Amino acid sequence: MSACEEVVIDQAAASDVARNPIDEVIAGRLSCREFSGSPVSRSTVEQILRVARFAPSGANVQPWHVYVLAGAARAEVSAALLHAYETEPSAHVSEYQYYASEFPEPYLGRRREFGRLFYDSLGIAQSDTAARGRQTAKNFAFFGAPVGLIVTIDRRLAMGSWLDLGMFIQNVMLAAVGRGLQSCPQETFAKYHRILRPRLSIPAEQMVACGISMGHPKVPARRRLMPRADLEAFASFSGFEN
């Protein structure tokens, strides 16, 4: 199975989601980890970012900044990141904590299920640390995508602006789907801010939040790998008539 494909657990639930074009775009987004390398034009990326900027943000502060990489610039950054990952991985840490130190249920179970499904789909045993390391290294080649985005946020802002940033990033990925592309958001780029900052002239007040690989999937995505919790697991309703 390609790393760009996903496994639909409930076909009926999936078909129930896609009822209009917007639903289809949302349900059709997936985290692609195998791109064809076919070029994506600057004008296409500009269109994506122009529509993504309509994400809501508190007091309209619009806390995001994006560094778009392609061609030689992308290759240079990729080589520097890969070198850092291979030679001094423990020397690089993010400026923020992405994961909780301990996961309560049901989140711990979901995280374990992710690892099992993801590595099984690649034919990698969870105990095979070398193979897992090689898979992780593909992050820094943007999984073969022709376009890489480095997304930053002003560190002087508060947690609410991070909520706004998440909505902007989701808009970017959905706008990509609407143009026949897929993407993969990658927190791991935040660990290498000391590599990225001088190469992209990122000012000190900006914190690297994540990267995004973007391009054409290597193969058409047919199935969804990661299941989603049923509605009853996360939604509570009050005040509706029967």
Instruction: Please state the rounded mean pLDDT for residues 128-148.
Output: 96
DSSP 96: S
CA distances to 97, 123, 176 from 85, rounded to whole Å, are: 19, 23, 28
Q: What is the dihedral of CA 49, 55, 57, 60, to 10 degrees?
A: 70
The dihedrals phi and psi of 138, each to the nearest 5 degrees, come to -65, -20
Taking only the tens place, the pLDDT of each residue in 77-133 is 999 999 999 999 899 999 999 999 999 999 999 999 999 999 999 999 989 999 999
Instruction: Please state the rounded mean pLDDT for residues 169-193.
Output: 98
The domains of the chain, with CATH numbers, are 35-98+107-219 (3.40.109.10)
53 vs 192: CA distance, rounded Å: 26
pLDDT at 7 over 70: no
